[in-house]
Amino acid sequence: MKRLLSLTAGLLLGAAVAAFGADREHILKIYNWADYIDEELLEEFKDWYYEQTGEQVEIIYQLFDVNEIMLSKIELGHEDFDLVCPSDYIIERMMRQDLLLPIDRDFGNTPDYTSLVAPYIIEKFNEIEAYGKNANDYSVGYMWGTTGLLYNKAYVSQAEAKTWETLKNPKYKGKIFIKDAFRDVYTALIIALHKDQIDSGELDLKTISFNASDEYIALVEDYLNQVKDNVLGWEADFGKEEMTKEKAWINLSWSGDAAWAIEEAAEVGVDLGYEVPEEGSIVWFDGWVIPKYAKNVKAARYFINFLCMPQNAIRNMEEIGYVSAIGGPEILEAMEDKDSFEPLDASYFFSEKDTAVCVNPVYYPDAFTIAHCGMEHDSGERTEELLKMWSRVKGDNAGVFTYVFIGLAVIAFVAMFIMNSGKKKSRKRRR
């Protein structure tokens, strides 16, 4: 429902702006994922921006559900969005296509809160490959997470959830959902299937993720063909909800979806857990960028800076259930819970001294796990071959169950919209 309200608000505001003839230079057009911000911050930003600059600004806030749909609008130049929030591989593609403006971090008398982005995020953005350009000059990290296995503790042990091999276990036939996200699954498995070579130094974790050769595609396809008979459905968003209902016992999932599912399932007496398999996996990132067709670059820069303020980063995390790219002591203080979590090494994200902090491992995996995670990249001309492989693997297996569950999800959404608009919303992932 919030998504529908946001869309309606965006349309009404756009109509109002047109009717009253507001100058485009005083309008900030934002294009973001659904349910991916504390929307109260939008109004608060307008007051904060006036305090910082003495300038008025109105916001047109619109939503997208698929990276490529957003990208197509930017590529065609038919939309003059000032700010968009793509995923890592799309940032890479947009930089390669010269679709982004560099982000000026000089905010005059206003502090540069973008400097609070965790060094780990800066380091990972440095791995984005775009013909010599540095992604940290063209984007600012927003949210991040991992890809792993959400599992039902009543049927799957923690040891089983710590290995991708569990997906091939015949005792889980018809009890597995896999995220319908070919790039995430492919990259995670490429890393896992080369664990020994990576550990020995024969292969480099940072570069293996770029490999979309016929040999590597065939390797992943063979592995997935050994898994697919166990797959109940290939899902884009409904898997986490079905896990809370025990329709399946394992879901290859994103950490943010897993955190939501664990919380929701606990309320109905279902005990779920999440693990990043020890063979390795991936971390993913979303970041704010300014397209080259932007008309209000100044307000876009200030909005990014506004979201990087620790108190706003914390509010966004609490609202949407994903993990901010902002680090530092204020974030750690807000996220640490000594009564709920065992100490782990999160020094890679906060500071060198934070080797035993009590934070949620779904949000902040330990340093050992992170050291075995690569990141996905734009596969360029090889994308078509990856999609063909993905289609071959899913085959008819993707059909009946996927569409049935999509239909059920739509029915459930309509029912909630009509009968219970006050109920806590589901956190939607951005990819």
Kindly state whether residue 345 falls inside one of the protein's structural domains: no
CA distance 370 to 374: 8
Q: Determine the average pLDDT of the residues in 339-357.
A: 97
Domain finish residue from 268, 296, 326: 326
H-only helix segments in 85-236:
88-96, 119-125, 135-138, 158-161, 182-193, 195-200, 205-208, 214-227
pLDDT of 16 reads: 44
Tell me, yes or no, whether 383 and 245 share the same domain. Answer: yes
Tell me which residue range forms the domain holding 256. 144-280+372-419
Tell me, yes or no, whether 23 and 123 share the same domain. Answer: yes
Kindly state whether residue 173 falls inside one of the protein's structural domains: yes
Kindly state whether residue 321 falls inside one of the protein's structural domains: yes
Domain finish residue from 299, 326, 353: 326
Kindly state whether residue 225 falls inside one of the protein's structural domains: yes
Tell me, yes or no, whether 156 and 296 share the same domain. Answer: no
Tell me, yes or no, whether 133 and 166 share the same domain. Answer: no
* Distances in whole angstroms, Cα of residue 202 to Cα of each of 60, 196, 205, 283: 50, 9, 10, 22
pLDDT of 425 reads: 45
Kindly state whether residue 261 falls inside one of the protein's structural domains: yes
Tell me, yes or no, whether 265 and 400 share the same domain. Answer: yes
Backbone φ, ψ for residue 83 (5° rounding): -155, 130
Model pTM?
0.87
Give tens-digit pLDDT for 222-244.
999 999 999 999 998 899 999 99
CA distance 40 to 42: 5
Domain finish residue from 298, 326, 354: 326
Contacts for 164 with CB less than 8 Å, ≥ 6 apart: 149, 188, 189, 192, 277, 279
Q: Determine the average pLDDT of the residues in 379-387.
A: 95
- Token pair belonging to 287: 């970041």
Domain count, the chain: 2
Sign of CA dihedral 314, 258, 253, 283: positive
Tell me, yes or no, whether 97 and 123 share the same domain. Answer: yes
Edge-to-edge order in the sheet of strand 83-84: 58-64, 27-33, 83-84
CA atoms within 13 A on the CB side of 150: 32
Q: Are 314 and 41 in contact (CB under 8 A)?
A: no
Phi-psi region of 275 (alpha: psi -120 to 50; beta: other; left: phi over 0): beta
DSSP conformation class of 421: T
Q: What angle do CA 192, 385, 181 make, to 5 degrees?
A: 55
Concatenate the DSSP letters of all residues of 36-86 into one string.
-S-THHHHHHHHHHHHHHS---EEEEEEES-HHHHHHHHHHT----SEE--
Kindly state whether residue 219 falls inside one of the protein's structural domains: yes
User: Is the model's pLDDT at 393 over the cut of 50?
Assistant: yes
User: Is the model's pLDDT at 131 over the cut of 90?
Assistant: no
Q: Are 325 and 141 in contact (CB under 8 A)?
A: yes
Give tens-digit pLDDT for 38-50.
999 999 999 999 9
Tell me, yes or no, whether 185 and 247 share the same domain. Answer: yes
CA distance 404 to 414: 16
pLDDT band at 9; cut points 50, 70, 90: very low
How much is the mean pLDDT over the chain? 89
Tell me, yes or no, whether 275 and 187 share the same domain. Answer: yes
Kindly state whether residue 426 falls inside one of the protein's structural domains: no
Tell me, yes or no, whether 95 and 158 share the same domain. Answer: no
Concatenate the DSSP letters of all residues of 74-108 into one string.
HHHT----SEE--BHHHHHHHHHTT-EE------T
Give tens-digit pLDDT for 182-193.
999 999 999 999
Give tens-digit pLDDT for 149-207.
999 999 999 999 999 999 999 999 999 999 999 999 999 999 999 999 999 999 999 89
Alpha-carbon torsion, ordered 260, 65, 383, 75, to 10 deg? -140
Give tens-digit pLDDT for 356-371.
999 999 999 999 999 9
Q: Which of 20-24, 176-180, 235-239, 395-399 has the lowest mean pLDDT?
A: 395-399
CA-nearest of 351, 373, 362 to 278 is: 373
Tell me, yes or no, whether 230 and 117 share the same domain. Answer: no
Q: How much of the chain, in percent, has pLDDT values that exceed 70?
A: 87
CATH of the domain at 389: 3.40.190.10
Q: Determine the average pLDDT of the residues in 340-359.
A: 97
327 burial (CB, 10 Å; 0-12 / 13-18 / 19+) is buried
Q: How much of the chain, in percent, has pLDDT values that exceed 90?
A: 82
Chain CA centroid to CA 23, Å: 34
More confident residue, 336 or 2: 336
Kindly state whether residue 424 falls inside one of the protein's structural domains: no
Tell me, yes or no, whether 20 and 77 share the same domain. Answer: yes
Tell me, yes or no, whether 206 and 244 share the same domain. Answer: yes
